[in-house]
Amino acid sequence: MPGVYLSLIRKKNFFLSKIPVFIGQNNSHASPSGSADIQVEQPKSLATKLRDNVCAIGEVLLQKRPGWTRCCLIMSLFFVMVEFLALDQSLLFLLVKRKPFSWSDKVFSYFSLLRGLLFSLGMVICPLLLTLVHWLGKDSLMIIIGIAASAASFFLIAAAHTTEEIFLTAVFTIFCGAIGPGYRSFLPRMVPKEQTARLLTICSMIMAFCPMMSAAVFNSIFTASMEWWPGFAFFVGGVLQLLVVIGQGGIHILMRPQWLLEKRLKAQIMTHSLTVGGDIGRNDGDIASTSTVVSDLHSGALEEQRNTSYPR
């Protein structure tokens, strides 16, 4: 038996010694040109990735678009920054803790709960109410209504002297709930689908940066004015939001021709879809593709739009 085991071990070592030879022979038969064609992609450095991401984000803002779309996109992002700059919730806590309000923590908790409930309710009700009408730019109208209500509440807080007046401003919060859904619907309509993620990245950067800047600016204003007008910081915030309302109204006017063109395009697509569907039902032998007709119509309408619109 030991002789059998010794024989098996020798055969195993023999075959293992031949494996590198077989591998070398197989590699020698491979084509040198084939190995030369294989290129290993080098990993990008961190600086290169950062530069590519910044360029991709800048492309969203600088790419030419039909009509006034590019200008309105940049203005909208600027107004988003101004809006978040004016919304500093810590200012209200500093105001109501002082005389003549002198709120306790319990009263402030009730007020915050009431505002939160009304805000959440507004996020649901306002979009549902606008589905009952067929106005152009309903998402833009939601933004205008919401920011106008927020500006009104800021002006009332700036002039308030009693607890009841502060609680009265919570009524406007239900309209402020329309701001978020309005922007989430309004901004992505200005860019192609493949740029939506980059656009939302810009919005996230604005929402992360503005609260820090707002705390530094408005806390300084509150500290400087609390002796002669404690609500002056809210007055400044209301003025900023009023400017956003005016600017959003201008964007609404500039984008209206674009929305009219999109509305006519959708109507033409629906008309041709119904026409092609009727032809398919009447002529079984000559079946046309609805998607092809709609695609051709959509391409032709876009081409007409490019020819009649001047990028800005």
Query: Where are the domains positioned within the chain?
Result: 54-255, 264-308
Instruction: Give the rounded distance of the alpha carbon of 171 from its chain centre.
Output: 27
Q: What is the pLDDT of residues 191-238, one digit of tens each?
A: 888 888 889 888 888 888 888 888 888 888 988 988 899 899 999 999
- What does the pLDDT read at residue 288? 41
In whole angstroms, give the CA distance from residue 212 to residue 222.
Answer: 16
Mean pLDDT rounded to a whole number for the chain: 78
Q: What is the DSSP string of 31-57?
A: -HHHHHH--PPPPPPHHHHHHHHHHHH
**Taking 70 as the threshold, does the pLDDT of residue 93 lie above it?**
yes
Lowest mean pLDDT among 39-48, 137-146, 164-173: 39-48
pLDDT higher than 70, residue 25: no
pLDDT at 245: 94
Span 261-281, pLDDT tens digits: 888 888 888 887 766 655 555
Tokens of 273: 């879809």
Q: Which two tokens stand for residue 24?
A: 């070398």
Please check the confidence at residue 182 and state whether its pLDDT lies above 50.
Answer: yes
pTM over 0.95: no
Spatial separation of the C-alpha atoms in residues 66 and 68, rounded to whole Å: 6
Say what percent of the chain tops pLDDT 70. Answer: 74
Residue pLDDT, tens place only, 117-162: 999 999 999 889 888 888 888 889 999 999 999 999 999 999 999 9
pLDDT confidence of residue 287: 39
- Predicted confidence band of residue 44 (pLDDT cuts 50, 70, 90): confident
Is the domain defined by 54-255 classed in CATH 1.20.1250.20?
yes
DSSP notation for 210-264: HHHHHHHHHHHHHHHHTTT-TTHHHHHHHHHHHHHHHHHHHHHHHHHHHHHHHHH
> In this predicted structure, what is the pLDDT of residue 251?
93
